[in-house]
Amino acid sequence: MSSWYRLELDVVLPIKPNEIIVQRIGRIESMLDDTVGKDFDPETHWIDNTVQPITCHVNFHAEFKLSGEEIEDVIDNACRAIWVANGEYCKIQPQWLYLEAVPWEACPRGEEDYKRLLE
């Protein structure tokens, strides 16, 4: 049986002097896509210049279907790919969500809400 998942990897990358961090993020994204076989998208959250070394916080995320693989194995492969592409240790916080049983709640808005919100 196969199941849909969303995997997010929050990565903290120390920035080296005169480094173009976008190039390193691109290398990591390519390594993730090739090694893990999933299509990861990076989003740079922020650059923290209040600490030394200055760090870049990046979130790599992907939604995919697993057949016969365990999510823990995918996470291990993703972390290994990030560390290889980065060339050294960096902090990684993996988070995953099982998409086939996501809790949700309907929040309908009716005519009373229309009046309330537009008054």
Each residue's pLDDT tens digit, 67-92: 888 899 999 999 999 999 988 899 99
The amino acid that residue 47 corresponds to is I
Compare 103 and 29 and report the one with higher pLDDT: 29
Q: For the chain, which residues make up each domain, given as ranges?
A: 2-118
Specify the fold of 2-118. Alpha-Beta Plaits (3.30.70)
DSSP for residue 18: T
pLDDT at residue 1 in the model:
61
pLDDT bracket for residue 93 (50, 70, 90): very high
Alpha-carbon torsion, ordered 70, 72, 77, 81, to 10 deg: 140
17: which residues sit within 8 A by CB, 6+ positions away? none
Cα 104 to Cα 65, 69, 71, 72: the distances in Å are 21, 26, 22, 25
> Taking 80 as the threshold, does the pLDDT of residue 117 lie above it?
yes
